[in-house]
Amino acid sequence: MNGSAPTPLLTTRGLGKTFGGLAALVGLDLDLYPGEILGLIGPNGAGKTTTFNLIAGALPPDAGTIELAGELIAGRPPHEIARRGIIRTFQHNMPFAGMSVTDNILVGAHTSMQTGLVSLVFNPGRARREEDAARARARELAAFVGLSEYIDGEVGALSFGQGRLLEVARALASEPRAILLDEPAAGLTASECDRISEIIRGIAGRGIAVLLIEHDMRFLMPLAKRVVVLNFGRKIADGPPAEIRDNPAVIEAYLGDVSGTVGAGKEDPHASA
């Protein structure tokens, strides 16, 4: 680092989105660093998924900037943002039915493959080598998320939790610089939560920046190095989990929200699960 401060990979400044008369996101300043796990929390309707939609290009922002490694990306189409290295998973997502586990992962690899139709016709050798390399990488990713034994099977044979792991493997197949995970632990069993926690640590350990929306504080607090809290579209806190937990504005924001409790992070992750 030569003593200089680390540079964020992704930066938003004054990011905003309005739906009709509703301000879903207002003036969001966010910095995401390589290899960091940054939690994004807030009561239902706080603007978390909207933040993902803006960063990933699913929706154009009404205000503000989004910079990826110094380049302005706000308003660019999703495939271009994916190609530049930002991949997101969805809050409610199912694998592509009728396809094998490998092929599901290969769908993700497609964004980073160089081979287009032209080289497929004029340079079939190169296309074949890329395909082989992508398949080898798909097997590696299946192993990384613990799905090796299902690799040649149909996705229909996977449990709900395994489907979520597959989704993470597919996102990684594009070799992203940043991954945005929308409630990856929702609906998982306690042991699957532990597994996905380890996987998320492993992703960050590879230097990939992780932005993580999570409702379950018991899951998030031990995992995230830093947490940003949204309430009614505005950032109300940004700091280490221990500070967030004791922040009066955060506690206040969650008082009316039955779906999550901030203080729960103090307990053993799955003591009562």
Ligand X SMILES: Nc1ncnc2c1ncn2[C@@H]1O[C@H](COP(=O)(O)OP(=O)(O)O)[C@@H](O)[C@H]1O
Q: How far is the CB of 215 from Mg ion (least distance, A)?
A: 9
Q: How far is the CB of 171 from Mg ion (least distance, A)?
A: 17
Q: Scanning residues 172 to 231, which ones bind Mg ion (CB under 5 A)?
A: none
Q: How far is the CB of 237 from Mg ion (least distance, A)?
A: 18
CA nearest to 229, candidates 67, 160, 221, 63: 221
Q: How far is the CB of 257 from ligand X (least distance, A)?
A: 10
The Cα-based distances of 6 to 1, 176, 190 in angstroms read: 7, 19, 35
Query: CA-CA distance, 148 to 243, in Å (whole number)?
Result: 39
Closer residue to ligand X in complex, CB, 35/260:
260
How far is Cα of residue 53 from the mean position of the Cα atoms in its chain? 11
Closer residue to ligand X in complex, CB, 8/47:
47
Closer residue to ligand X in complex, CB, 58/99:
58
The option from Mg ion, ligand X, none interacting with 44 (CB < 5 to 8 A, set by class) reads ligand X
Near Mg ion by CB under 5 A, which window of 49-57, 153-161, 168-176, 229-237? Answer: 49-57
Near Mg ion by CB under 5 A, which window of 11-19, 44-52, 155-163, 222-230? Answer: 44-52
Closer residue to Mg ion in complex, CB, 192/214:
214
**Site residues (vs ligand X, CB under 6 A):** 19, 22, 24, 42, 44-50
Q: How far is the CB of 91 from Mg ion (least distance, A)?
A: 5
Q: How far is the CB of 1 from Mg ion (least distance, A)?
A: 35
With CB under 5 A as the contact rule, the residue among 15, 16, 43, 49 that binds Mg ion is: 49
Residues found near Mg ion in the complex (CB under 5 A): 48-49
